[in-house]
Amino acid sequence: NTLSEIEEYYKAREQQLLEKLHQQEAALAAAEQTLKQLTENQRAPVDETAEQHAAREQKLKEELYRDPLTGAYNRRYYDERLKNLEGRFSFAMIDMDNFKHINDRFGHQAGDAALYRAAQAIKSQIRSDDELVRYGGDEFFLLFRDLPQQILEKKLQSIRAALDEIVIEEYPEPYISASIGGAFAAGRILRTIRRADLAMYQAKLKKDCVAIYREEKEHET
pLDDT (tens digit per residue) in 141-200: 999 998 998 999 999 999 999 999 999 988 888 899 999 999 999 999 999 999 999 999
Q: Under the phi-then-psi rule, with left for phi > 0, alpha for psi from -120 to 50, and beta for the rest, what region is 116?
A: alpha
pLDDT value of residue 219: 46
Q: Phi, psi (5° rounding) for residue 100?
A: -60, -35
Cβ proximity of 149 and 90 under 8 Å: yes
Could you report the per-residue pLDDT of 42-87, keeping only the tens digit for each? 555 556 677 777 777 777 777 899 999 999 999 999 999 999 999 9
Residue ranges with strand state E in the chain: 86-96, 131-136, 139-144, 178-188, 210-213, 218-220
pTM for the model: 0.72
